[in-house]
Structure 1
Amino acid sequence: MSSPRTDENAAAVRKARFGTLPERVAFEDLAEERPPLPAKAVDGYDPDGLAVRFACLAEHLGL
């Protein structure tokens, strides 16, 4: 086993090299609550959006 003196030296070297860990961040500070989007904005027809989503499928099917 290592002596307490060696453990203290190792801890001092480790602290000098790596410093300390950052403070913990609470989950409440990480999450952001937003009101939901109106249904029209979510369900609206967007032809450009459909083209982007289905372009690869159409290409694979040879359309």
Structure 2
Amino acid sequence: MNEQAAEIRKARFGALPERVAFEDMVEEKAVLSANHARDAYDPDGLAVRFSCLAADLGL
């Protein structure tokens, strides 16, 4: 019975797939360049996002 069950399992599932190398599973991508328009310092634009009376009075 044990040999018959093993044959049935092998017929149904076959063999394990071949191992995949780590190098084949890794994809390297170039880093996107920074968005200088968004990251640039703009003192006038900062006032639009940051409004604080204490900061305006220098406290």
More helix by share: 1
TM-score (norm 1): 0.47
TM-score (norm 2): 0.50
